[in-house]
Amino acid sequence: MKEKYDVVILGPGPAGLQAAIHAARAKVSVLVMGREHKSSLYKAHVENYCCLGEEKVTGLELDNGDVVEVDGVFIETDKQQQTNVPGIYAAGDICGPPWQVAKAVGEGCVAGLAAAKRAKKIKK
């Protein structure tokens, strides 16, 4: 396994996989992390479906100290699916309703392309 990737995707659900496809098509290296069978697509019964959990939070702290802003239970993004932290993108159910595959893959596509574009710019 490579030690460094241009784009790292957390969560192999519809949003994450679509982001991976589009980032890879843009010819950047991509790593997808997570467990496929945990996707909500594979669940017959779901409690507290969607979101970050039961408790409302104000942010997700990253290892480097950056904090991704959260609006109660959903991650906020701009139109390129970028969070308030440059280079960190979010897509799919985690961004809020409607909780549909079509929305997840659409946002995943946008996020994957935006992440790949950023990675290429940084590598230049």
Q: Report the interface residues with ligand FAD, using CB under 6 A.
A: 10-16, 33-36, 38-41, 43, 46, 49, 92-93, 99-102, 104
Shortest CB 30 distance to ligand FAD, Å: 15
Shortest CB 60 distance to ligand FAD, Å: 10
Q: Which is nearer to ligand FAD, 41 or 62 (CB)?
A: 41
Shortest CB 105 distance to ligand FAD, Å: 8
CB-based contact 110:21 (threshold 8 Å): no
Element (H, E) at 69: strand 67-72
Nearest to 109 by CA among 37, 25, 52, 2: 25
Query: Which are the contacts of 59, defined by CB distance < 8 A and separation ≥ 6?
Result: 67, 68, 69, 70
Residue whose tokens read 């893959």 = 105
Cis before 98? omega within 30: yes
Q: Which is nearer to ligand FAD, 6 or 93 (CB)?
A: 93
SS3 19: helix
Q: Which is nearer to ligand FAD, 33 or 62 (CB)?
A: 33
Shortest CB 62 distance to ligand FAD, Å: 13
Q: Which is nearer to ligand FAD, 35 or 121 (CB)?
A: 35
